[in-house]
Amino acid sequence: MTAKYVTLIERTMAAIDTPAARGPRIRVDLQLIADMVAPGSRVLDVGCGDGALLDYLVHFKQVDGRGIELSQAGVNACVAAGLSAIQGDADTDLADYPDNAFDYVILSQTLQATRDPRKVLENLVRIGKRAIVSFPNFGHWRVRWYLGWVGRMPETAALPDRWYNTPNIHLCTISDFVGLCKELDVEIEKALAIDDKGKAIRVFGHWLANLVGEQGMFLLRQRD
Amino acid sequence: MTSLSVHAPGKAPELPGKRLSFGERRLKLDCGVDLPGVTLAYQTYGTLNAEKSNAILICHALTGDQFVADQNPVTGKPGWWQVMIGPGLPIDTDRFFVICANVLGGCMGTTGPSSTDPATGQPYGLGFPVITVGDMVRLQSWLIDHLGIDKLFAVIGGSMGGMQVLQWAATYPDRVFAAVPIACAARHSAQNIAFHEVGRQAIMADPEWRKGAYQAEGTNPSRGLSVARMAAHITYLSEAALHRKFGRNLQDRSAVTYGFDADFQVESYLRHQGSIFVDRFDANSYLYITRAMDYFDLAAQFGGHLPRAFKDTKTRFCLVSFTSDWLFPTSESRAIVHALNAVAANVSFVEIESDKGHDAFLLDEPEFFKVLRGFLDGCAELRGIR
């Protein structure tokens, strides 16, 4: 395992180091994503919602940012806020973009809701020099306990929906995801296990991350 | 009717407003003709800043004109986009310098088929060369040169105006900071060409049309033009809007009359729309401008590959469509978005929920206004416009 799980202490230090440069607060897990993005870069946020992360990146990291969002209301809110966004989804709209069009392509909490996550991942690392992907971890101990003990589809903070109305049609574990990356020759430059508060947890190795992480978050790159 | 004057073709030179004449300078048209003696009629609103960085060019639609934000001198009605353009409005004339010119081929002061042919001293009529959206934009660029503006802050337009916006962005990418093509397409569809053909045939079937020489012969094909407008007007609305407005309601009567009077309100409405249109528009202009739209196919200008039209563009795009617009449906805008994505252009695309059909872009649609204001504010921030 070459990937390094960044420690909580490192995160906390970073947060204390430059409070002035950070501006307004965004959701903690979005902040973790923002921290991975180099200032002044070109960013595509897939599933950008109402543009909270994009707005932060544009104003506090001076990125050239674009968003794709499924909900028209979300897109309209983004554009009305001066952000570039289009209506679309990860399954159908990523194929349009040329190779290496962006420095970072972000897919936050969406991979598990796509029809073809493998194709989506291939596209992410194709059109972005780097991709940042986060998803709810189905290998978390609480999920395992729920399924193993209660015998029903797990409902947790990260997975609040019932089995019949969840948009999450392709749930996976951190280990599953790491396996797919290996299969696609995608290099994991950074991996974070994230707790239910959205904070990075200090752990070593994917196996443990897979047990204690509510979410996995990865910085990825297609190997040449 | 509120008309201040009946707009007989050829009276356009007497209309108020700004004029720019190019004398002997010849406009190279796509059809191969070099057109001399071109005049452009235009209006401006607001003030051009010292850096000349705050200019917005508004491109009008098929039957629009340069009176976008002040009273129309022919109809006496407010400008066609006066709800959008003005102090404090989304296109804020306290911040931006707004330019709108009557298109080439028009009948509101810019050279068109009703203008005098310098070679004959007679109105051009069908002697006027067939023009394209590309020609319209080329002439507009002369105006922008004349105003000393290197780069427009934005080019904005709906319908045929949107086609001009796309043409601007493709032909002069370095002169367009932001482009807002609204309710338009990168090429005119077969269905839309078909509707235009119906309109043209209605005009040409009018015995007063006289093969286009009605000015010289002292006639006016107003019945044909009015039918053309009625047919077109239906395409600007939606089934839902027509139903909401009129349903099957009868016009000033309690029962159908078993005749061909305007029994239904919708008939009466269309007849009215047709009749007021002929007071402000020239039949030959209608032929020429609809033809320009029919010929519009941006991809064809770039080897059949639409993304090539926008290769390496730095322009920021914001496309807008309306849910009930079946003349330029959302799928047309989406095709442009796909092409822009293929070159990783900076593009926003919003679809506005509205039951008002194609005409929605001219109306007070709060969501649309909010989006356009936000887009322009964001761009102005980047462009350093206060």
From the list B271, B284, B286, the residue with the least C-alpha distance to B223 is: B271
What is the share, in percent, of chain B residues with pLDDT greater than 90?
Answer: 96
How long is chain B?
A: 386
Domain that holds residue A16: 8-222
pLDDT of residue A20: 39
Residues found in chain A: 224
A3 assigned to some structural domain: no
- Is the per-residue pLDDT at A16 higher than 60? no
Residues of A in contact with B338 (CB under 8 A): 96
Q: How do residues B196-245 score in pLDDT, each as one tens digit? A: 999 999 999 999 999 999 999 999 999 999 999 999 999 999 999 999 99
Number of inter-chain CB pairs under 8 A, A vs B: 64
Domains and CATH numbers, chain B: 12-189+298-383 (3.40.50.1820), 193-289 (1.10.1740.110)
Chain A residue with minimum CA distance to B381: A82
Average pLDDT over residues B26-34: 98
Amino acid letter, residue B232: A
- Report d(CA A140, CA B26) in Å as an integer: 74
* Chain B residue numbers touching A68 (CB-CB < 8 A): none
Cβ contacts of B336 on chain A, cutoff 8 Å: none
- How does the average pLDDT of chain B come out, rounded? 95
Whether B375 and A79 lie within 8 Å, measured CB to CB: yes
pLDDT, position A206 = 87
* Burial tier of B354 (Cβ tally within 10 Å: 0-12, 13-18, 19+): buried
pLDDT (tens digit, 9 = 90+) per residue, B168-203? Answer: 999 999 999 999 999 999 999 999 999 999 999 999
**At residue A2, does pLDDT exceed 50?**
no
Q: Which residue has the tokens 């298109």?
A: B103
pLDDT score of A159 more than 90: no
pLDDT tops 50 at residue B146:
yes
- Contact between A78 and B367 using a beta-carbon 8 Å cutoff: no
Whole-angstrom distance, CA of residue B202 vs CA of residue B232: 11
- Which candidate in B114, B159, B238, B321 is catalytic? B159
Domain membership flag for residue A33: yes
Using a CB-CB distance cutoff of 8 angstroms, which residues of chain A are in contact with residue B352? 76
Residue A212, domain CATH: 3.40.50.150
Asked whether residue A139 is assigned to any structural domain, the reply reads yes
Burial class (CB within 10 angstroms; exposed 0-12, middle 13-18, buried 19+) of B58: buried
Nearest to B317 by CA among B306, B333, B301: B333
| Residue of B341, B353, B378 lying closest to A83 (CB–CB) | B378
ipTM above 0.95, yes or no: no
- The 10 Å Cβ neighbour count of residue A24 is 9
Q: How many domains does chain A have?
A: 1
From the number of C-beta atoms within 10 Å of its C-beta (0-12, 13-18, 19+), residue B71 rates as middle
Question: B57 pairs with which residues across the strands?
Answer: B99, B155
Task: Verify whether the Cβ–Cβ distance A96 to B338 is below 8 Å.
Answer: yes
From the list B206, B263, B325, B359, the catalytic residue is: B325
Give the pLDDT of residue A3: 44
Would residue B325 show up in a list of annotated catalytic residues for this protein? yes
Write phi, then psi, for A122 (nearest 5 degrees): -60, -45
Of the listed B135, B294, B358, B359, which one is catalytic? B358
Residue B355 among the catalytic residues: no
Enumerate the β-bridge partners of residue B320. B182, B350
Per-residue pLDDT tens for B83-122?
999 999 999 999 999 999 999 999 999 999 999 999 999 9
Look at residue A172 and tell me if it is in a domain: yes
Whether residue A2 lies inside any domain: the answer is no
Strands (E), B193-233: none
The residue written with tokens 């972005």 in the block is A128
Give residue A24's pLDDT. Answer: 66
Answer yes or no: is pLDDT of A22 > 50: no
**Which chain B residue has its CA at the smallest distance from A64's CA?**
B346
d(CA B84, CA B48): 19
B294/A10 Cα distance (integer angstroms): 62
| Torsions phi, psi for B296 (to 5 deg) | -70, 120
Question: Cα separation of B100 and B80, whole Å?
Answer: 11
Average pLDDT, chain A: 88
Counting residues of chain A whose pLDDT is more than 70, the rounded percentage is 89
Q: B341–A96: do the CB atoms touch at under 8 Å?
A: yes
